Amino acid sequence: MGKIKVLLLVWILIFGLLWSDEENTLAGSEPARVLLISSYHPGFPTFFQQVNGIKSVFTEKGIALDVEFMDKKRFSDDTIETLFLDLLSYKLNRTKPYNVIMAADDDALLFLLKHKANLFPTQSAVFFGVNNIAKARELNGRQGITGVIEAVSMKETVEMMLDLLPKTKTVLVLVDKTPSSIGDLNTFRALSNTYPQVVFTELSLGDHSYTEFADALQKIEGETAVLLLSAYVDKDGNRMQFNDSLQLILNNLHQPLFRKRSTNAIFSYR
């Protein structure tokens, strides 16, 4: 999620704090305290974009920001979430309450929805960077929580792929079963009726090991355009960081590879 979008969200958050009827707000004697729950870890490419955007507003307003990391791109099993819940609960019981909770990306939002009643029963919550549009829309009108989805330029991406490769008959996306990837995949699937002349299909690590995935990539040929959405975890729970999974794909794919960046620019490899 880009820094500008985070800035806009932060201004919405500050407005809510200013008009909050809670005791510890910006108008009170103590600075407001905000907890950011990050889905990932500091090494994830968009993390510092998010935090720098938030801090550029919070710092001048005197708002204190704490960050807790779920680390779900590197560890996705149930154990890591249980450990995160236990540690967060321990910290919350030994620190002053926060005024507002922020959830960055899909995993953090799902965690917040599951545990808000116990962990943050009275605090307002703001989410951003969410790819699951349907889940975000379910929250319309819900008291105490608001936010923005991550604007995915899927249609524009596909159009550019078809412009660059006009003989394309199949658009294939590479995905896994992470929440953000599932959200993007649903957006991709919704485009199938827009381009009846093209077959929309997918190759998911949710159904393949990395070895099987590599074998399947080698068999892709003909007039197929390939779009990378996510390749962080395979069906057996094995994980790769972005650069490693990208290299695996490039080593086995004979077609051009496209992927989106947070700037909404589109990059092609080969």
Total residues belonging to the chain? 270
Instruction: Judge residue 186's burial from the number of C-beta atoms within 10 Å of its C-beta, 0-12 exposed, 13-18 middle, 19 or more buried.
Output: middle
Answer whether residue 177 shows pLDDT above 70.
yes
- Whether 25 has a pLDDT exceeding 50, the answer reads no
Given a contact cutoff of 8 angstroms between Cβ atoms, the answer to whether 131 and 110 are in contact is no
Give the neighbor-by-neighbor strand order of the sheet with 266-269.
Answer: 199-204, 170-175, 224-228, 257-260, 266-269
pLDDT at 24 over 70: no
Q: What was the pLDDT predicted at 5?
A: 53
pLDDT at 264: 39
**Cβ-contact 124, 32 below 8 angstroms:** no
Whole-angstrom distance, CA of residue 15 vs CA of residue 6: 14
Q: How confident is the model at residue 216 (pLDDT cuts 50, 70, 90)?
A: very high
d(CA 263, CA 60) in angstroms, rounded, equals 26
Lowest mean pLDDT among 34-48, 98-112, 234-248: 34-48
Most confident of 42-46, 47-51, 216-220: 216-220
The larger pLDDT score, comparing residue 212 to residue 193, is at 212
Cα(220)–Cα(226) distance, integer angstroms: 9
- CB-facing half-sphere around the CA of 240: CA atoms within 13 A: 20
pTM over 0.75: no
Q: Does the pLDDT at position 32 exceed 70?
A: yes
**pLDDT at residue 261 tops 60:** no
